[in-house]
């Protein structure tokens, strides 16, 4: 009914298309040139590394982020709290929430001024927990919370 000729011409076209595709991928190697950018940093969750690649013509972009969640030091945690508050402050200013921005500014100043005292209280807190002096630990925890306001 359809005839042998129509059948052969239909699949003949597919065969030629697939042969052409195979020749593109098998014979020619495909290289993309571009620029590579590497950034490193740390935040409250630990250290991170970000590598980005953008092709010269802008058609390809690949970004890889690697995070190292090893225990950050205590000073890193406090510095990260300040940096996260600073990020919140920027967002509040951008969205014109000036009352919230003023509160965040005050919190940042308070943390920066009291940082040494907070670190000392935190080490005392750890000692109290180790000695299982939980009443003192509760008092120290409350003092730390008050200083971090």
Condensed to tens digits (0 to 9), the pLDDT of residues 13-28 reads 667 777 777 777 665 5
Do 141 and 100 have their domain in common? Answer: yes
Condensed to tens digits (0 to 9), the pLDDT of residues 62-85 reads 888 888 765 544 445 556 788 888
pLDDT tier for residue 1 given thresholds of 50, 70 and 90? very low
Residues whose CB falls within 8 Å of the CB of residue 110, separated by 6 or more in sequence, listed in order: 147, 148, 149
Q: Going by DSSP bridges, is the β-strand pair 34-43/46-55 parallel, antiparallel, or unpaired?
A: antiparallel
pLDDT at 7 over 50: no
Domain count, the chain: 3
pLDDT of residue 18: 74
Q: Domain span at residue 50?
A: 36-70
Hey, what are 46's tokens? 């630990």
pLDDT of residue 29: 58
Q: Report in angstroms the alpha-carbon separations of 147 from 44, 76, 108, 126, 140.
A: 19, 18, 11, 17, 11
Q: Residues of the chain with pLDDT > 70: what percent?
A: 78
Distance from C-alpha of 144 to C-alpha of 126, rounded to nearest angstrom:
12
- Averaged pLDDT, 99-122: 88
Condensed to tens digits (0 to 9), the pLDDT of residues 37-55 reads 988 888 777 788 899 989 8
pLDDT of residue 138: 92
Do 24 and 57 have their domain in common? Answer: no
Do 93 and 124 have their domain in common? Answer: yes
Do 49 and 110 have their domain in common? Answer: no
Do 52 and 97 have their domain in common? Answer: no
Distance from C-alpha of 62 to C-alpha of 53, rounded to nearest angstrom:
5
pLDDT of residue 135: 92
Residues whose CB falls within 8 Å of the CB of residue 118, separated by 6 or more in sequence, listed in order: 78, 111, 144, 147, 148
């Amino acid at each position: 009914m359809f005839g042998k000729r129509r059948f052969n011409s239909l699949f003949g076209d597919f065969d030629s298309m697939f042969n052409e595709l195979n020749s593109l991928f098998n014979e020619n190697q495909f290289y993309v040139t571009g620029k590579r950018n590497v950034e490193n940093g740390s935040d409250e969750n630990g250290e991170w590394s970000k590598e980005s690649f953008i092709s010269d013509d802008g058609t390809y972009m690949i970004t890889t982020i690697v995070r190292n969640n090893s225990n950050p030091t205590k000073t890193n945690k406090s510095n990260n709290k300040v940096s996260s508050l600073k990020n919140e402050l920027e967002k509040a200013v951008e969205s014109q929430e000036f009352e919230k921005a003023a509160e965040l500014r005050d919190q940042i100043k308070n943390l920066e001024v009291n940082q040494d005292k907070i670190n000392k209280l935190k080490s005392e807190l750890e000692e109290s927990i180790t000695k299982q002096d939980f009443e003192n630990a509760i008092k120290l925890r409350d003092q730390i919370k008050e200083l971090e306001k």
